[in-house]
A and B are shown apart, each in its own frame.
Chain A
Amino acid sequence: MKIRILFFASLRESLGTGAEELELPAGVSTVAGLRAHLKARGGAYEKAFADRSLVRIAVNQEMVSLANPIKHGDEVAFFPPVTGG
């Protein structure tokens, strides 16, 4: 199962990347699981995902909660609270 991950704004900067392709590890089937997997990379990832309130998540360009499932081909975006307008 392959997915595309996007990072925006301060998350993109602190992680040093805006996008990556990821082969979903066995056992990761939800947004919560993916978030935990990324956080477990340590370093900048652990720091960026430490405060749950500072990371919003969208799957296929729709805002979702942590329980949302992930399937092959999904585009999963992580970003801080929005500040447009």
Chain B
Amino acid sequence: MKISVQREDFDAGAEMRALSRDSSVGAVASFVGVVREVPMSLEHYAGMTEREIAKIVEEAGSRWSVMDATVIHRYGDLRPTDQIVLVVVASAHRGDAFAACEFIMDYLKTRAPFWKKEHRPEGARWVEARASDDEAAERWESAAKKAV
């Protein structure tokens, strides 16, 4: 497992190749989040952020067959088209890789202590948490309950 919270940009292709070197890996799913339209700065709670992401990845590993995973999340000042976040999951088969990747991303949005501040022409404002993000994470909870 690789978790990095960093100012610097990342190379998604290199991170994906790094997770496909094991010959038992048959599927590598990835997600890249990109800054849309408005410049922003990202603040985080150093230490807790890495711990929360690790917990999310471990939980994904308890639900699906995950062979390895990489999560990189940037902080600091970002402009439109900049990459913000990368999730890569390696599995034997695509079903596990797709599901675990989406699960990690959904939980990251509701649990990892990051805060976005948008810098609009009319002034700066903190982004408010969205109910749709909570709902995206909650559907995994109800999926788990159904499975039990």
A residues lining the B interface (CB < 8 Å) = 6, 8-10, 13, 58, 61-63, 77, 79-85
Contact of B51 among A61, A81, A84 (CB under 8 A): A61
Q: Which residues of A contact B85 (CB under 8 A)?
A: 84-85
Instruction: Tell whether, in the assembled complex, residue B115 and residue A85 are in contact, meaning their CB atoms are under 8 Å apart.
Output: no
A-B contact pairs, 18 of them (CB 8 A): A6-B45, A58-B45, A62-B48, A63-B111, A77-B45, A79-B45, A80-B115, A80-B126, A81-B129, A82-B111, A82-B114, A83-B115, A83-B129, A84-B73, A84-B114, A85-B108, A85-B109, A85-B133
The 8 closest A-B pairs by CB, nearest first: A84-B114, A81-B129, A9-B115, A85-B109, A61-B48, A10-B126, A83-B127, A83-B116
Q: Interface on chain B toward A: helix, strand, loop, or mixed SS?
A: mixed
**Most chain A C-beta atoms within 10 Å of own C-beta, residue among B42, B110, B113, B130:** B113
Q: Which residues of A contact B117 (CB under 8 A)?
A: 9
Instruction: Tell whether, in the assembled complex, residue A85 and residue B51 are in contact, meaning their CB atoms are under 8 Å apart.
Output: no
B94 at the interface (CB under 8 A from A): no
Q: Which residues of B contact A84 (CB under 8 A)?
A: 42, 44, 73, 85, 108-109, 112-116
Contact of A8 among B43, B105, B112 (CB under 8 A): B43
Q: A82-B110, A84-B112, A85-B133 are in contact. List 5 more A-B contacts (CB 8 A).
A: A9-B117, A61-B45, A61-B47, A83-B114, A83-B126
**Most chain B C-beta atoms within 10 Å of own C-beta, residue among A10, A80, A84:** A84
A81 (CB) vs chain B CBs: closest residue: B129
B84 at the interface (CB under 8 A from A): yes
Chain B nearest CB from A16 CB (Å) reads: 15
CB contact list, B81-124 vs A, under 8 A: 84-85, 105, 108-117
